[in-house]
Every structure is written in C-alpha cells, then in structure tokens.
Amino acid sequence: MKDISNYSLLRHNTFGIKASCSRFVEFASVEEGLQVADLVRREDMPFLIIGGGSNLLLTRNFNGIVLRSAISDIAVQTFSNHSLVRVGSGMEWDGFVSWCIDHNLYGAENLSLIPGDVGASAVQNIGAYGAEACDIIDKVEAIRIADGKLVEICAEDCAYGYRQSRFKHEWKNRYLITHVVFRLSNDFSPRLDYGNLRAELQQQGIDQPTARQLRSVIIDVRRRKLPDPHVLGNAGSFFMNPVVGRAKYEQLHSEYPQMPHYSIDDQHEKIPAGWLIEQTGWKGRSMGRAGVHDKQALVLVNLGGATGAEVVALCNAVRHDVQQKFGITIEPEVNIV
C-alpha cells in the first residue's frame, strides 16, 4: 500500500492541472482496501476517491486524503453462452477491453479507448457508440466505508442511467469499489447502428467485422475526433448530451431542421451537446489558457498551463451561450473538485 504525504496529483488527472493533496493512499488488494476504510474512519479529514483521473477537473489543492485502487486481477467463470469476468477496479479500462477480445469475450468492444479505470466505469456508467457499461455490468463488489463490510451490489440496484449511478449521488464516498463483475457473451454480435460505424467499416471494405476489426475502427474514429491528453490536456467529453421533452424538441427542430438527434422514447430526444456548442461559435475558441477543441466542441482543453478555475470559467461561458441560444442547460459530465 502506498501512503504519501504532500503528493502531486499532476499525473493523476488527464487535464494536466497542477494540484496536490495532503495525503495520497493507494491500495492494491481487498485486504489493503479494508485497511484504507479503517484509516478513513479514524482520520478526521475529507477524502476523495479517484480512478485514472480522466473524468476529473481539479480547481484547487485538496486538503485531505486522495484514495485510489490499484487492484488489477481478473478471474473468469464460463457458462454455456456467457461468461462472468471479475475485474479489479484499478485495471485500465481499455486494457480490459483488449483483454476481453483476446479471450473471445464480447460486449465491451464499442467502449474501446475510453480512458479511465474499471472501477470508474461502474460509477460513471461510461458509454459510446450505442453501448454503456451498465449493459454488461452484473454486480459491483465494494467495501462499505462506514463499517468496513464487504458488500456485493447488483447492477439493478445501482440505478444506472445516462452517465449516472447511485455511486455518483446518494452513495458518493460511501464505498471503495474493489471489483466489477461483467457478464460478457461467448459469441460476437456486433453493434453497428450508431453514428458512422457502418460507413467507417464500409470504407475499409468490411461488411461483417470481427470484434478486433470493430475495435480498431472505433479506436481510429476516437483518435481522429478526440485530442491525446498527453499532448493537449483534457477529460474527453466535458458535457453530457441533454435530453429534452417532445415539445422542446419539436420547437427546436422547426428552427433548426438539420439538428442531429437520437430518440430516447416517444416523449424524449437526445441532442448532441457538441452540436449545440458549435452553433454558438465556441468550437476552436479559447478563454485564456483553456479552449474548446477545434475538432470536437464537446471537449474542453488545457492549452498549456491552465488552472482548473480557468477551465470552469470557460465551461460557464459555454453553458451560458447554449442556454441563451437554445433554452437548454447543458451539464458537465466531469467531476469538478
């Protein structure tokens, strides 16, 4: 177990924000996690649980304990048509997706190249290209901080929704996630009807892709659209795509017939936040050292030396202009601390 005082968090946030914490504790097993839960109960200090830092914006030094899982084991139970894969919460998410394909286990391939750790996938309910983590999560194993008990939480009890879970709200800071159990298929059945996946595959002459080919195409698309955080600090998609009621959608559609949208149900439509932001003229613009990415308006970037406060100021300016133009409030997906 790592336990370090006055620790820099620079390499633990993909925005590249310079910030530190009073104490950094990393646990690499369930046993160490139990010790960490005991430490948190004994210490009269605020604490922050992080993963890979890909969904985190630090606006200040954290005067407390930062906790991180480094558990990275994998175990598989195989059944006739599916497998249950138990994965340590500290494993890199994309490494897990690659491992699944290498072992002929399917269901995670559309979530390729999403940054972060496995534990965060169960908190954030990550999603891309028509798939979400909750589609394949069977249960979450965790340590309840209040009493140090090991618990198993069924996916149905996590109240998963679009980038939402109870871990983000009423359960925030109540659990240390140690493992996530995924239910994966033993047979590959590709999801190709979201966005431009079919067109990308057809350009390569692929009609019936393998899981590895689908993963490769998704990685290519993401790399073209999203900046590399090692080059340009960012946290991926900064805003959630808003869901609006039928009346609001029809009003906007009459004004902007070219507006992209995705049907949620008979009464709701999802509108891409990136499109809304682009219509306000923010794409490629900056405020000080923070900017809106010139290839994907959904992404805010650190142009070099930006503070968390500068990124928040840009966020607020973008939200204001979207609200003024469309009457829609877009919400940050990123955890702002």
Q: Active-site positions?
A: 163, 237, 333
The number of angstroms, rounded, from the C-alpha of 187 to the middle of its chain's C-alpha atoms is 26
- Report the 3 state secondary structure along the chain: CEEEEEEECHHHCCCCCCCEEEEEEEECCHHHHHHHHHHHHHCCCCEEEECCCCCEECCCCEEEEEEEECCCCEEEEECCCEEEEEEECCCEHHHHHHHHHHCCCECCHHHCCCCCEHHHHHHHCCEECCEEHHHCEEEEEEEECCCCEEEEEEHHHHCCECCECHHHCCCCCCEEEEEEEEEEECCCCCCCCCCCHHHHHHHCCCCCCCHHHHHHHHHHHHHHHCCCCCCCEEEEECECCCEEEHHHHHHHHHHCCCCCCEEEECCEEECCHHHHHHHCCCCCCEECCEEECCCCCCEEEECCCCCHHHHHHHHHHHHHHHHHHHCCCCCECCEEC
Q: Cα 174–84–161 angle (5° rounding)?
A: 50
